[in-house]
Amino acid sequence: MSTSALGRYAFINAKLRSRIGSMLDDRQVEQMLQSQSLEELLNLCKGTPYEPLLDLYDQSADIQRLEAWLFSRSVGLHREVASFMSGTHADVVTAMTRKLEVENLKGMIRLWFSNTVKRQNIDYRYGYLFQKEIVSEIDWERIVNAPRYEDIVTALARTPYGEAAARFEGASLAQSGLFPLETALDRVWVSLLWSVVGNLPADDRKLVKQVLDRDADLKNIINLVRFGYLYDLSSDTLRTLMLEGGTVSSTKEFDSYLACPKEDRSPQALVARRFPDLAKQLQEAGAMTTERQTLLVERYLFAVRRKSFRAILRGYPFSFGVILAYFYLEDRQDALIRTMINGINYGYRAPEIREFAL
């Protein structure tokens, strides 16, 4: 490894690892899971990175505000990490930040859809969405207040999402719902990420490609099972859902999965070669409901993902891996906090929340 990699990652590696070290440990999580009320949970956040949630709740008693804070924290962390890097490396982090931008954009368009197409009152809900710049200069107010879909397309014209948005029309979206548009936007950020990853130095490029390929495979399998097996989407629609990268969508199992009539699709056959353990588990599960099988597939693949990020963290420290692992862990921790907040607020007990969260 060249010394430039050491120079590039020495600071960020130390900084991110120290943050990883101060993340919630198992004991804290267990204690939080046992909380009897939201106030108790938030009191336990004292001294953790989530301490501001306590004050926010005290000011508003509004858990949606807490979720909004978690999102803005995540945006802040991504932008901060990007500011620690330079050149292509910063571009890659910025491209990763686009995932959050797309999530926010989808949230805005959903609000617009509810208000304009479904004629529902969106009232204060806009206030929970992130309204500042994430990566591109997007006029969020213009999107949420757009009288027609075409105005959203115009608002996005100077952003990377303009082209994808322009492929749809308001009338067709009113018929089909937002799902096709949302998946198209997802593909935009993934494609943007792939385009900058190619500029990374060889070692980093290899590592990031591996992670992206694996993530694409996992996401594609989950989509194929969830939408092709659980919700019976057509083969053509499924094909458009596939994210760039990975190998799953170019296998013969994929082709035969799509070629099957909907009722004959088998998740077991789809994953048999790539994840024989999972196939075995599905076989052993036997007469499980479709929902349970889908859940089993998702859990298994999430566990695979978790394991691989742990391996990255244990590996060579001066690489882009530390950034990928850090974002993964932060994301997971945020999801855990979000689940606990909602679970405890709605009166769920520790075992149920644990099942959702871990």
Partner 1 sequence: MNVFTVPMKLLTAVVLDEATDAVKKTLLSLGVLDFIQVSHLAPDQAYRLTKSTEGEDPQLHAQLRTRVETLFQQAGRTVFPSEKLDPKNSQPLDITGAKARLDKIGSDLGTIREQQKQLSQAKIRVEELFRYVADQKTQYIDIRVGSFEKEGAQVVDSRLANIAHVFLEPQEWKDSILLTLKRDRQQVTPLVENLRWTENPDGKRHHEAMMMLKADLEKRLGELESANNEIKRKIVARIEEEIDALEDLWCDLRLRELLGEISRNFSHTRNTTIFSGWVPKSASANLERAIRDASGGACVIEWTDAEQMPREEVPVAVPDIPLLRPFQKLVDNYSVPEYGTINPTPFVAVSYLAMFALMFADAGQGLAILLLGLFGSRKKPAFVGTKRPMIGPDMYRLFIYLGASSILSGILFGSYFGLPLFPPVWFDYHGAVVGHDAMGRNVYSILGITIWFGIVVIGTGLLLNWINLVRKRDWFHLVMDKNGIIGGWLFGCGAWAAFAFVGSGYKTLPEGVFLPLAFGIPLLILFAKVPLHRSMARKAGHEVEPKSFASLVMDSVMEWIVDVLEIFSGFLANTLSFMRVAGLGIAHVSLMTAFMQMAELAGGFYAPLILVLGNVMVIALEGLSAGIQALRLNYYEFFTKYFTGRGLSYDPIALHPHAGRQIR
Residues found near partner 1 in the complex (CB under 8 A): 34, 36-37, 39-40, 43, 58-62, 65, 115-116, 119, 121-124, 126-128, 141, 144-145, 147
CB of 31 to partner 1, least distance (A): 9
Query: Position of tokens 């597939």?
Result: 297
CB of 124 to partner 1, least distance (A): 4
C-alpha 299, offset from chain centre: 15
Question: Whose Cβ is closer to partner 1: residue 34's or residue 290's?
Answer: 34
User: Where do runs of H (alpha helix) occur along 226-242?
Assistant: 235-241
CB of 61 to partner 1, least distance (A): 4
Name the nearest CA neighbour of 167 among 192, 155, 185, 193. Answer: 185
Which helix (H) or strand (E) segment holds residue 180: the answer is helix 179-197
Query: Position of tokens 């931008």?
Result: 101
CB of 102 to partner 1, least distance (A): 22
Question: Whose Cβ is closer to partner 1: residue 40's or residue 255's?
Answer: 40
Cβ-contact 343, 352 below 8 angstroms: yes
Cβ-contact 196, 91 below 8 angstroms: yes
Question: Whose Cβ is closer to partner 1: residue 34's or residue 88's?
Answer: 34
Question: Whose Cβ is closer to partner 1: residue 25's or residue 58's?
Answer: 58
Question: Whose Cβ is closer to partner 1: residue 44's or residue 218's?
Answer: 44
For residue 176 the two structure tokens come to 């089909």
Question: Whose Cβ is closer to partner 1: residue 37's or residue 83's?
Answer: 37
Classify residue 265 as exposed, middle or buried by CB count within 10 Å of its CB (0-12, 13-18, 19+): buried
Name the nearest CA neighbour of 290 among 268, 275, 305, 307. Answer: 268
Single-letter amino acid, residue 326 = Y
- Give the span between the Cα atoms of 222 and 208, in whole angstroms: 21
Q: What is the DSSP letter of 124?
A: G
Residues 6+ apart with CB under 8 A from 353: 33, 339, 340, 343, 344
CB of 178 to partner 1, least distance (A): 17
Question: Whose Cβ is closer to partner 1: residue 122's or residue 184's?
Answer: 122
For residue 163 the two structure tokens come to 């082209």
CB of 60 to partner 1, least distance (A): 4
User: Rounded to the nearest 5 degrees, what angle is found at the Cα of 336, between the Cα atoms of 330 and 341?
Assistant: 125
- What number of CA atoms fall less than 13 Å from residue 258's CA on the CB side? 20
CB of 148 to partner 1, least distance (A): 11
Question: Whose Cβ is closer to partner 1: residue 141's or residue 163's?
Answer: 141
Q: SS3 for 321?
A: helix
Question: Whose Cβ is closer to partner 1: residue 37's or residue 86's?
Answer: 37
CB of 164 to partner 1, least distance (A): 23
CB of 121 to partner 1, least distance (A): 6
